[in-house]
Amino acid sequence: MITSNLLNDLQMFVSSERIVKAQNGDDFLGNSGRIVVKPESEEEITKILQYANLHNRKISIVAGGTKRGFGGTTEAEDIGVSLENFKGITEHAVGDMTLTVKSGTPFKELQAYLAQYNQKISLDPFYPERATIGGIIAANDSGPKRLGYGSARDAVIGFRIAYPDGSVIRSGGKVVKNVAGYDMNKLFIGSMGTIGVLTEVTLKLRPLPQYESVILLAFPDGHHEWLKSFAAELLDSMMEPIALELLSPTLSEDLTGHRNYTVAISFEDVETSVHYQEEFVKKISPPSVNVSILEKEKACQFWEQFYNIGPKVTETKETEATLKMGVVNLDVIRVIQECEYMSDVHHLKIEGHGGLGHGLCHVHLSGAAEDVKTAIGQLRKLATELNGYAVLKYLPLKLRQEITVWGERPSYFFWLEGIKEKIDPKKILNPGRFVGGI
Amino acid sequence: MVKKSMQTIDKDIMNLAKIVGEKEILFKQADLLAYDCDGFTIHKHLPKAVVFPNSTKEVAEVVKYCNANQLPFLARGAGTGLSGGAIPLNGEVIISLVKMKRLLSVDLENRRAVVEPGFVNLKLTNSIADKGYYYAPDPSSQYACTIGGNVAENAGGAHCLKYGVTTNHILGLEVVMPSGEIIDISTNGVLDLPGYDLLGLLTGSEGTLGIVTKITVRILKNPEAKQTVLAYFDKVEDGSQAVSDIISSGIVPAALEMMDKIAIEGVESAAFPVGHPKDIEALLLIEVDGISVGITEQIKQILEVCKTRNVREVKVAQSEEERGRWWANRKTGFGAMGAISPDYLVQDGVIPRSRLPEVLARINKISEESGLRIANIFHAGDGNLHPLVLFDARQPGQTEKALAAGSECLRVCADVGGTITGEHGVGIEKREEMRFVFTEREIAAQTDIRDVFNPHNLLNAGKLFPSPGRCAEVKKEMKNGREAFA
């Protein structure tokens, strides 16, 4: 009854063919809606929000669906707002190198469009075909090239945000440098859709590099001290790697065919500079390390494959999970080692990688639910020992209801809660999706 | 003896002295005069007192005392801010952080350093230069300004075109909240801590959301090579076009600075002249850095662009000494205006780079209409203009005229889709101009956030936001704001 009323009400804002009643039982990831609406304009979005706010309806926001396993303990909220139809470029100022885009636009589409102008967004998120720019930013997703190019907080210069009360707020602007007022952009990056629906994103762009390569260094087993001293030497040099990512042997086998601790180093610059840096890497590599170089398209292909590792975001027989772990740069080696040890002990497939220059790791686990849970516990313990954190970036709903996704509340949680309460006092947006149940 | 004299005065002064020590407080009017303004000298107000805490704990106790006794308070670093953020508008207790100036640790392996807020910006680079590292944000006042102040203002600098502003280099903060509670946000430098990005929100909040007492910053390895080009143009349009061409050619210069004719007259009359011709309309100072072999190619491209854009003369610095002279000439540019005008007002607008020629023409018109000369020194690469309005405060009415002309320049920036400040902050100076770029609702969204952190508005009140109300005008601005961003 309630659902059918809701259905009728929503038809006031969105035409009926864009309102779908959810099927039961297809939501092993949760974060869905009993009724899913697909707005096509900002106005439709604000009207839905205004309605939900007035009638205390809870909203779950989705677009490409790649982050439905990230946070939240509810199978379906009252309304699922899907932004999959809310896409397209609003403005591309080619000479100013800025781009304004609707939040439901898939990332890869954007990069393909920008490539025609020799430009790109300097982010390298996972699942670029399906992930949308809004989702990537709301979840603050980033990949290995963060070392060279930074993350969403370095690329975003402005937003239009639909607030829970239906008003629209602009933050930042369309220029690359801006300190007018609070830096509100930062508040929404990584906020998991809990304080507003991003409708438009303005990004600063970078030129496409003229040349690029990936060097793969396969380290022989049992020589972790070489790994550490190699990474330290490269980081202390004047070379400018865009990525310096350590891959666990299991992951390396999948990607390169060699079951070794492998360091993937990306260089992007003019061709002479890339080759010069490759030579430097060869020079400082320990003698028994196997060095191979992927140039140009082969380098691109390597990363394309890389960005699609991990859970397939569909229901599988084995339980799949992804942890994002943050530690201090060189502690990444310990995290990736631990992954390898644990895969033997727990009969799990564990693939891990982490940035030796930025300290962020991703660990993909696959196996029996109980083993996955145990491994998560152990990795969390390690993160704590290393003064870092471990967040569950992907986990089926059932397990999210058992294990806390975000770990311990930070000591300053009071202020985080204060922000949520101020902006979304009725807690209608993505309820419970974020740290400490925000 | 001090004690005795203090007993005859204010109980608050006595109690604050108990917290920080009797030698660490100023309260006599003569002593307070030096604290009645910062780098923005048009507004002045005396503080109630100035305290000089030596530790986070002392800062927290002072804040708690102020809270308990409803005393307004604010934090101050070196006082070099250009928008009035450290001016005690409400007779605040100033918490000066200049005694908390230690470099606490340097971790080269993980490329981070931890400093206290009173640590001077340039000292950080100087402390790690021998190991081949540096701290990237380089505001022109870097020899004096503190990193705590840089965090408050989200300071920029000439090299932020490639490397970003302060916020891109802050890894962690220890903060005394307006309630007096001390919080630690990732001072060990781990990225992406779960939760809303308080680091990002606090950086650039102009001292209204908390007082930073410890800062973890990212440090960078020196680039392998660096080359600097100086290009002289007979026409401003050619110079502006060259800027656009360089950026769109795929080069990301470390810095790309421009000065116009009046600015050149100023710097050539001041302490660091380098012999720029006085009859050119614009000069560009371009720096590229990175891997040596790559730079050679970039310089070639830059020289070609300049030639295509009718450059009169273009040269590459032949030595570090020459490069240093060019930069000293540029970095002291604001102060140099003192050599050609009794007073000057610095503005700080940002525009989309491609609108540069049009905006310069409009600024020129503002200058003609106001009868005041306006020099332009700016970070052209990221569209950050610094119009310098030259005036003589002794002439009645000129100060007001200069302020109005400065505001007009910001209006132009907002009109073309830009913003009213790129690195100096809003402070007192540009409170009303916030309405050029934000609607009333958007400003309310920001003050809502302030209320979460600073609910009694005792910390640095009266900054950043326009005075509420003025409905008719608000409506008009809302319309304009929407158009400007459409």
Q: Does A330 touch chain B (CB under 8 A)?
A: yes
- What DSSP letter does each residue of A352-405 carry, written as one string? EEEETTT-EEEEEEEE-HHHHHHHHHHHHHHHHHTT-EEEEEE--HHHHTTS-S
Query: pLDDT: is B470 or A96 the higher one?
Result: A96
Chain B closest CA to A34's CA: distance in Å? 28
Query: What DSSP character marks residue A190?
Result: T
Q: How far apart are CA A146 and CA B272, in angstroms?
A: 40
Q: Look up residue A315 and give its amino acid.
A: E
Query: Which positions in chain A touch B257 (Cβ < 8 Å)?
Result: none
Alpha-helical regions (H) of A189-292 = 224-235, 249-256, 271-284
What CATH architecture applies to the domain A211-306? 2-Layer Sandwich (3.30)
Query: What DSSP character marks residue B245?
Result: H
Closest CA to A239 of A114, A117, A148: A148
Closest CA to A207 of B356, B294, B416: B294
Task: Work out how many CB contacts closer than 8 A connect A with B.
Answer: 249
Do residues B100 and B149 touch, judged by C-beta distance below 8 A?
no
Start-end of CATH 3.30.465.10 domains in chain A: 1-208
Q: Does A329 touch chain B (CB under 8 A)?
A: yes
Q: Out of A97, A184, A412, name the one closest to residue B183 (CB).
A: A412
Do residues A197 and A429 touch, judged by C-beta distance below 8 A?
yes
Do residue B422 and residue A207 have CB atoms under 8 angstroms apart? no
Q: How far apart are CA B230 and CA B327, in angstroms?
A: 10
Query: Which positions in chain A touch B149 (Cβ < 8 Å)?
Result: none
Tokens 């030796």 sit at which residue?
A: A356
Q: Out of A176, A237, A412, name the one closest to residue B383 (CB).
A: A176
Query: Which positions in chain A touch B424 (Cβ < 8 Å)?
Result: 179
pLDDT tens digits, one per residue of B146-202: 999 999 999 998 888 999 999 999 999 999 999 999 999 999 999 999 999 999 999
Q: How far apart are CA B260 and CA A161, in angstroms?
A: 39
Chain A closest CA to B383's CA: distance in Å? 8
Do residues A316 and A310 touch, judged by C-beta distance below 8 A?
no
ipTM of the modeled complex: 0.97
Chain B closest CA to A177's CA: distance in Å? 5
Work out whether strand B182-185 and strand B170-176 pair parallel, antiparallel, or are unpaired. antiparallel
| Cα dihedral B368, B372, B377, B382 in deg (nearest 10) | -60
Tokens 């100022």 sit at which residue?
A: A93
Query: What DSSP character marks residue A329?
Result: G
pLDDT tens digits, one per residue of A269-318: 999 999 999 999 999 999 999 999 999 999 999 999 999 999 988 888 99
Start-end of CATH 3.30.70.1130 domains in chain A: 319-400
Do residue B248 and residue A419 have CB atoms under 8 angstroms apart? no
Chain B closest CA to A23's CA: distance in Å? 33
pLDDT above 50: residue A220: yes
Phi, psi of A270, rounded to the nearest 5 degrees: -70, 160
Query: Average model confidence (pLDDT) for chain B?
Result: 93
Do residue B438 and residue A95 have CB atoms under 8 angstroms apart? no
Lowest mean pLDDT, pick from A165-169, A199-203, B141-145, B466-470: B466-470
What is the pLDDT confidence band of residue B481, given thresholds at 50, 70 and 90? very low
Secondary structure (3-state) at A326: strand
What is the pLDDT confidence band of residue A263, given thresholds at 50, 70 and 90? very high
Q: What is the pLDDT of residue B7?
A: 53
Q: Does A184 touch chain B (CB under 8 A)?
A: yes
Chain B closest CA to A257's CA: distance in Å? 31
The topology (CATH level 3) of A1-208 is: 3.30.465
Closest CA to A100 of A28, A44, A158: A158
Task: Tell me the domains of chain B and their CATH numbers.
Answer: 2-96 (3.30.43.10), 103-221 (3.30.465.10), 224-340 (3.30.70.2190), 341-486 (3.30.70.2740)
Do residue A176 and residue B382 have CB atoms under 8 angstroms apart? yes
Do residue A173 and residue B449 have CB atoms under 8 angstroms apart? no
Query: Average model confidence (pLDDT) for chain A?
Result: 95
pLDDT tens digits, one per residue of B403-455: 999 999 999 999 999 999 999 999 999 999 999 999 999 999 999 999 999 99
Secondary structure (3-state) at A286: coil
Q: Out of A154, A235, A391, name the one closest to residue B164 (CB).
A: A154
Q: What is the pLDDT of residue A139?
A: 98
Do residue A173 and residue B197 have CB atoms under 8 angstroms apart? no
Do residue A190 and residue B294 have CB atoms under 8 angstroms apart? no
The topology (CATH level 3) of A319-400 is: Alpha-Beta Plaits (3.30.70)
Q: How far apart are CA B435 and CA B480, in angstroms?
A: 9
Which of B110, B131, B196, B465 has the most A C-beta neighbours within 10 Å, making it the best mutation to test the interface with A?
Answer: B196
Which of B163, B192, B212, B256 has the most A C-beta neighbours within 10 Å, making it the best mutation to test the interface with A?
Answer: B192
Q: How far apart are CA A138 and CA A70, in angstroms?
A: 11
A45 contact partners, CB below 8 Å, separation of at least 6: A39, A81, A83, A86, A162, A197, A199
Q: How far apart are CA B150 and CA B170, in angstroms?
A: 10
Closest CA to A361 of A146, A152, A212: A146
pLDDT tens digits, one per residue of B40-99: 988 899 999 999 999 999 999 999 999 999 999 999 999 999 999 999 999 999 999 999
Q: Out of A93, A169, A330, name the one closest to residue B354 (CB).
A: A93
Chain A closest CA to B197's CA: distance in Å? 6
Give the total residue count for chain B.
Answer: 486
Question: How far is residue A67 from each of residues A30, A64, A75, A128, measured CA to CA in Å?
Answer: 10, 8, 14, 12
Do residue B200 and residue A186 have CB atoms under 8 angstroms apart? yes
Chain B closest CA to A5's CA: distance in Å? 32
Phi, psi of A304, rounded to the nearest 5 degrees: -60, -45
Start-end of CATH 3.30.70.2190 domains in chain A: 211-306
Do residue B250 and residue A150 have CB atoms under 8 angstroms apart? no
Q: Around Cβ B397, how many Cβ atoms within 10 Å?
A: 8
Hey, which residues 11-70 in chain A have their CB within 8 Å of chain B?
A: none
Q: How far apart are CA B426 and CA B424, in angstroms?
A: 7
Q: How far apart are CA B249 and CA B301, in angstroms?
A: 8
pLDDT tens digits, one per residue of A111-129: 999 999 999 999 999 999 9
Percent of chain B scored above 70 by pLDDT?
95
Query: Which positions in chain B touch A98 (Cβ < 8 Å)?
Result: 352
Chain B closest CA to A20's CA: distance in Å? 32
Give the total residue count for chain A.
Answer: 438
Do residue B185 and residue A412 have CB atoms under 8 angstroms apart? yes
Q: Does A324 touch chain B (CB under 8 A)?
A: yes
Element (H, E) at B218: strand B211-218
Do residues A62 and A83 touch, judged by C-beta distance below 8 A?
yes
pLDDT above 60: residue B479: no
Q: What is the pLDDT of residue A249?
A: 96
Alpha-helical regions (H) of A56-188 = 107-115, 133-138, 146-149, 152-155, 184-188
- What DSSP letter does each residue of A7-71 carry, written as one string? HHHHTTTS-GGGEEEPPTT--SS--EEEEEE---SHHHHHHHHHHHHHHT--EEEESS-TTTTSS
Phi, psi of B256, rounded to the nearest 5 degrees: -150, 95
Query: What DSSP character marks residue B415?
Result: H
Percent of chain B scored above 90 by pLDDT?
87
Do residue A181 and residue B290 have CB atoms under 8 angstroms apart? no
Chain A closest CA to B99's CA: distance in Å? 27
Q: Look up residue A358 and give its amino acid.
A: H
Do residue B201 and residue A407 have CB atoms under 8 angstroms apart? no
What is the pLDDT confidence band of residue B6, given thresholds at 50, 70 and 90? low
- What DSSP letter does each residue of B144-204 carry, written as one string? T-BHHHHHHHT---TTHHHH--GGGGEEEEEEE-TTS-EEEESTT--SS-SSS-HHHHHTT
Q: Does A227 touch chain B (CB under 8 A)?
A: no
Chain A closest CA to B479's CA: distance in Å? 13
Do residue B156 and residue A177 have CB atoms under 8 angstroms apart? yes
Q: What is the pTM of this model?
A: 0.95
Long-range contacts, B368-375 (Cβ 8 Å, 24+): B370/B401, B370/B402, B370/B404, B370/B405, B370/B408, B371/B401, B372/B398, B372/B401, B372/B402, B372/B405, B373/B262, B373/B341, B374/B262, B374/B405, B374/B409, B375/B259, B375/B260, B375/B262, B375/B263, B375/B265, B375/B266, B375/B337, B375/B344
Q: How far apart are CA A251 and CA A99, in angstroms?
A: 35
pLDDT above 50: residue B486: no
Q: What is the pLDDT of residue A224?
A: 83
Query: Which positions in chain B touch A182 (Cβ < 8 Å)?
Result: 201, 204-205, 209, 446, 449-450, 464
Element (H, E) at B215: strand B211-218
Which of B191, B218, B227, B350 has the most A C-beta neighbours within 10 Å, making it the best mutation to test the interface with A?
Answer: B191
Hey, which residues 237-256 in chain A have their CB within 8 Å of chain B?
A: 237-240
Query: Which positions in chain A touch B81 (Cβ < 8 Å)?
Result: none
Helices A2-10/A42-55 angle, 10° precision: 150
Q: Around Cβ B152, how many Cβ atoms within 10 Å?
A: 31
Question: How far is residue B72 from each of residues B5, B37, B62, B450, measured CA to CA in Å?
Answer: 24, 16, 11, 15
Chain A closest CA to B7's CA: distance in Å? 39
Query: Which positions in chain B touch A273 (Cβ < 8 Å)?
Result: 290-291, 293-294
